Amino acid sequence: MNIATIGTGIIVEGFLQAVEQLDGASCHAVYSRKEATAKKLADKFGVQTTYTDLTAMLEDPHVEAVYIASPNRLHSEHATKALKHGKHVICEKPFTSNVKELEALIALAKEKQLLLFEAITTVHMPNYHLIKKHLHQLGKIKLVQCNYSQYSSKYNQLLAGETPNVFNPEFSGGALMDINIYNVHFIMNLFGSPEQVRYQANRHPNGIDTSGVLTFTYNDFIATSVAVRIQAA
């Protein structure tokens, strides 16, 4: 399968390294708004084709699937466009900025009979499947606590008055979208939908959540899900 990539962040390099190890998959093209950025990434992974025009890339008949790693806010637009051009889609987390966008994407993928994946890796890992398989042996679950906290390399920029995408409300950034989403998948893939969810967040003056606590109330147990995307300045 020939894949094309949208975005040139560090995660795309991780994706391309993974593709290199796959039989039957290869990267056919990379897209970036800037030619130099596209070229640099393409050269690093021996990709022949670069695009700075997204439509042109999606019209390339050699491209079968698209990996989307643009800023969160653009996921929906890019995935929609890719599906409309008949390409399968693997989209970075968070899938979309809201449920409405996701439902539209799912409907479109079904209509077009195309594959649509969110690149949440953790729930596909062997250790996660082992947890799921042996969960019943733990007896009755009463309390689940998840914590995914990590210093963001972009936090210094935020403190310096800049607004990197990951801390930009305009780009659907924030701790929940960025890393707490892993806890959400961890919990909901094991236990399904809770009766109630509540989010308490620390917010930057620009409104973005830099850390927060999710509480999931199930019929007979409780789960907490914490993410901190910063450290003390």
In this structure, the dihedral spanned by the alpha carbons of residues 102, 107, 109 and 113, taken in order and rounded to 10 degrees, is: 160
Evaluate whether 132 touches 190 at the Cβ level (below 8 Å): yes
Q: Could you say which DSSP state residue 180 is in?
A: I
Q: Which is nearer to a copy of itself, 17 or 200 (CB)?
A: 200
Distance, in Å, from the CA atom of 155 to the CA atom of 51, rounded to the nearest integer, reads 31
Q: Which is nearer to a copy of itself, 10 or 232 (CB)?
A: 232
Handedness of CA 70, 54, 110, 97 (dihedral sign): positive
Q: Could you say which DSSP state residue 125 is in?
A: S
Q: Which is nearer to a copy of itself, 8 or 210 (CB)?
A: 210
Q: Which is nearer to a copy of itself, 6 or 228 (CB)?
A: 228
Contact pick of 127, 142, 163, 187 for a copy of itself (by CB under 8 A): 142
3-state DSSP assignment of residue 23: coil
Contact pick of 10, 99, 160, 233 for a copy of itself (by CB under 8 A): 233
Write down the residue that tokens 């991780």 correspond to: 14
Q: Binders of a copy of itself among 174-213, rule CB under 8 A?
A: 198, 200-202, 210-213
Nearest-approach distance from CB 48 to a copy of itself, in angstroms = 47
Distance, in Å, from the CA atom of 66 to the CA atom of 28, rounded to the nearest integer, reads 10
If binding is defined by CB under 8 A, does position 129 make contact with a copy of itself?
no
If binding is defined by CB under 8 A, does position 134 make contact with a copy of itself?
no
Residues making contact with a copy of itself (CB under 8 A) = 138-143, 145, 147, 198, 200-202, 210-213, 215, 217, 220-222, 224, 226, 228, 230, 232-233
